[in-house]
Amino acid sequence: MKSGKICCDNIFRKTSSWTGIILLIALEVFFLFAFNGLFPFSVEKINQISGGKGIPDALFFYSFKQLSNIFHSYGVVGKEVYLKLQWVDMFYPIIYSLLLGSLLYIQLKKTKLVKLVYLPFIAAFFDYIENILLRIDLLSYPAMNKVWVDIAAISTFLKWSFVYLSVFFIIIGLVKWIVSLSIKKT
């Protein structure tokens, strides 16, 4: 493998084109609407049912007690809504990881930092672990397994850490690009 090349170069060349980025942004917007009211099973609906407790996926971290309180606030109706919403969330990590990875690829494809394009996929990996374990936790509530809850919470923390790190590098690249444009104009 040549220096600076990554194993998914062909995929990133396609998804980092204007067409690919526009398609991924459109899918991102669709999922944001899906999570926030497009369907009868949404975060908005869960907030109404739970008195504003939301979903654990959106928290940076949670304890066993916090998760138990959230699930308790759902009741039977909220539980069903959350389980349906989770099906949407099984597709979402693919979209956000491709979008963030493609934006990183645009900036880093000719550098030694090109492997940073995998950060969003690490986030997606932890997102899937989180989703599976939260589903198990909810289905077993109130008899949740503390170990599964702890692993889900750590997965949520790692998911958000890798998402924020990806966004941080995208912003740094954007600032660097803007600075280079202003230097070229002078």
What's the rounded Cα separation, in Å, for the pair 186 and 183?
A: 5
Q: What is the pLDDT of residue 5?
A: 58
Q: Which residue has the tokens 């690009």?
A: 177
Q: What is the pLDDT of residue 23?
A: 96
The confidence band for 180, taking pLDDT boundaries of 50, 70 and 90, is confident
Higher pLDDT, 158 or 8: 158
Does 1 score more than 50 pLDDT? Answer: no
What's the rounded Cα separation, in Å, for the pair 126 and 182?
A: 39
Q: Among residues 169, 170, 162, which one has the least CA distance to residue 119?
A: 162
- For the chain, the DSSP string reads --TT--TTHHHHHHHTSHHHHHHHHHHHHHHHHIIIIISSSSHHHHHHHHTS---GGGSS---HHHHHHHHHHHHHHHHHHHHHHHHHHTTHHHHHHHHHHHHHHHHHTTSTTGGGGGHHHHHHHHHHHHHHHHHHHHHHTTS--HHHHHHHHHHHHHHHHHHHHHHHHHHHHHHHHHHHHHHHH-
Does 145 score more than 60 pLDDT? Answer: yes
Does 136 score more than 60 pLDDT? Answer: yes
- Report the pLDDT averaged over residues 55-60: 97
